């Protein structure tokens, strides 16, 4: 890890992080050879899995689960009794924390509905409007394997429920006992999911998109996952909707050291960076500051704190390969660099952070001030922690109730308006060579059979 000095050098470092595709870890490449018996790309592997699930349903889902994970499992469906038992067995403190988080998430998304999302309109005078309807069935992917993510359950299922989705099912990889993590099952009960399926990877995405004997076909798939899950979502898009292609997490901290912000804590900055680095070896933790002294202190703090982490190896790999501490001139310059990078999480760690918010154009989530760290957004602040990554915050948004709704345009023109518009519509139709369109329009204008000239 090196400290980068100067705006131009920082921009170049961040550009490389965006454009240089990281190689698959050696262990993943080796495992793919073992599973498929030949050298295949991620895309080829996913295409094979999707085709198999389409042809053989549950049997293919179970087969690829066994081949990839190296163990047998029981039925794909997790029973209601098993989910209820997981909730009852939850530690009381954790149960309370999840319930509190669920309520805050629910309140936030209910407010989004009240403030306009999900509200249709109709203007009788113009005959135009928009109807909003919730999706019928949604599939939620909740990652597993190296960690359990009950928070992802809350941050995906609850917005769907608030939006009015009729059926929400979760797919989560089975653990060593062949079932999803008990804490994930408990969170599913708290969030109000209709069911949980013990399946992961590309085969889970394929099953939800295509439908199998045990898995209902959904209208949309949401939630983060590994590179195979993301590739599968890309491949099934069109058969179903998706929320986005979520890559490894990333955070960008802006920490000025001037005036009221002279006391910025290197230890806190390091902790915030490592909170992202421990997610994934491909996670991207970035700090921008105007202080070379703080930059050096944060680097030393990261090296000290990382030794104490349970996921030390993961965090060290992220920090050494994709970490960056940049020294730039001003907060405004740092924000402009952040806008170009378009991070998933942007943290403005300054006492007067609100005054800089109008300058921010591209970020999945903006965290203002020292008391609103990104880690609280991960768990219990309220907005969904499923946010755009990989620079897609330039055009994409954080997951919310709007992702679980669709709009239908309403056109109910009064007779006078229909007649007034018909002539112009006919002219445009003829310019496009569509004479039937022109005839239909002219008939509304009262021009006999409409003609074709």
Query: What are φ and ψ of residue 297, in 5° steps?
Result: -65, -40
Distances (CA, A) of 143 to 200, 223, 287, 425: 7, 8, 27, 51
The DSSP symbol for 307 reads G
C-alpha distance from residue 139 to each of 51, 133, 173, 216, 279 (Å): 19, 17, 14, 9, 23
Q: Please identify which of the residues 246, 344, 374, 385 carries the catalytic annotation.
A: 344
* CB-based contact 171:229 (threshold 8 Å): no
| Two structure tokens written together for 329 | 């001139």
d(CA 232, CA 239): 12
CA distance between the termini of the chain: 72
Decide the pairing of beta strands 77-78 and 195-198.
antiparallel
As a whole number of Å, the CA-based R_g of the chain is: 26
Rounded CA-CA distance 350/256 in Å is 7
Q: How many CA atoms lie within 13 A of 140 on its CB side?
A: 32
Instruction: Please classify residue 144 by burial: count the beta carbons closer than 10 Å to its beta carbon, then call 0-12 exposed, 13-18 middle and 19+ buried.
Output: buried
- CB of 333 within 8 A of CB of 308? no
Strands (E) located in 28-166 = 77-78, 121-123, 128-134, 137-141
**Is 344 considered catalytic here?**
yes
CA-CA distance, 370 to 366, in Å (whole number)? 12
CA dist., res. 169 & res. 135, Å (int): 13
The catalytic residue among 109, 155, 345, 385 is 345
For residue 366 the two structure tokens come to 């903006």
Phi and psi at 365, nearest 5°, equal -145, 145
Q: Residue 413: count other Cβ atoms within 10 Å of its Cβ.
A: 15
Enumerate residues 6+ apart whose C-beta is below 8 A from 97: 379, 380
* Distinct helix (H) and strand (E) counts, the chain: 17, 15
Tokens of 94: 């954790």
Instruction: Verify whether residue 374 is a known catalytic residue.
Output: no
Q: Looking at the DSSP assignment, which residues form a beta bridge with residue 348?
A: 254, 368
- Which residues have a catalytic role annotated? 344-345
């Amino acid at each position: 890890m090196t400290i980068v000095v100067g705006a131009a050098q920082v921009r170049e470092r961040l550009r490389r992080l965006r454009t240089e595709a990281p190689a698959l870890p050696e262990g993943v490449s080796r495992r793919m050879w073992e599973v498929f018996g030949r050298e295949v790309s991620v895309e080829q592997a996913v295409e094979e899995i999707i085709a198999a699930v389409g042809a053989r349903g549950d049997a293919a889902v179970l087969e690829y689960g066994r081949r990839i994970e190296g163990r047998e499992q029981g039925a794909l469906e997790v029973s209601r009794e098993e989910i209820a038992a997981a909730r009852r067995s939850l530690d009381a403190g954790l149960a309370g924390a999840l319930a509190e988080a669920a309520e805050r998430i629910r309140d936030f998304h209910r407010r989004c509905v009240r403030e306009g999302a999900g509200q249709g309109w109709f203007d009788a005078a113009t005959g135009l409007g928009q109807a909003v309807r919730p999706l019928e069935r949604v599939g939620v992917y909740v990652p597993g394997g190296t960690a359990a993510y009950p928070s992802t359950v809350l941050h995906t299922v609850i917005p769907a429920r608030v939006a009015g989705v009729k059926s929400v099912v979760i797919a989560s990889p089975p653990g060593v006992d062949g079932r999803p993590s008990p804490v994930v099952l408990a969170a599913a009960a708290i969030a109000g999911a209709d069911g949980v399926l013990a399946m992961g990877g590309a085969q889970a995405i394929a099953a939800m998109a295509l439908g199998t004997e045990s898995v209902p076909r959904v209208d949309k798939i949401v939630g983060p996952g590994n590179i195979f899950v993301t590739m599968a979502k890309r491949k099934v898009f069109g058969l179903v909707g998706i929320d986005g292609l979520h890559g490894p997490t990333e955070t960008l901290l802006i920490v000025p050291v001037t005036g009221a912000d002279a006391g910025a804590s290197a230890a806190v900055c390091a902790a915030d960076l490592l909170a992202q680095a421990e997610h994934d070896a491909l996670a991207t933790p970035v700090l921008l500051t105007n202080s070379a002294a703080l930059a050096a202190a944060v680097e030393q703090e990261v090296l000290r704190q990382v030794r104490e982490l349970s996921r030390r190896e993961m965090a060290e790999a992220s920090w050494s390969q994709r970490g960056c501490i940049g020294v730039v001139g001003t907060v405004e310059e740092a924000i402009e660099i952040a806008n170009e990078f378009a991070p998933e999480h942007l943290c403005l760690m300054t006492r007067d952070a609100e005054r800089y918010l109008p300058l921010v154009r591209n970020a999945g989530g903006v965290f203002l001030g020292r008391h609103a760290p990104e880690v609280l957004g991960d768990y219990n602040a309220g907005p969904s922690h499923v946010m755009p990554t990989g620079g897609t915050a330039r055009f994409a948004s954080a997951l919310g109730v709007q992702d679980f709704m669709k709009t239908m345009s309403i056109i109910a023109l009064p007779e006078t308006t229909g007649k007034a518009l018909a002539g112009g519509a006919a002219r445009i139709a003829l310019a496009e060579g569509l004479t039937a369109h022109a005839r239909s329009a002219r008939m509304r204008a009262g021009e006999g059979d409409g003609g074709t000239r």
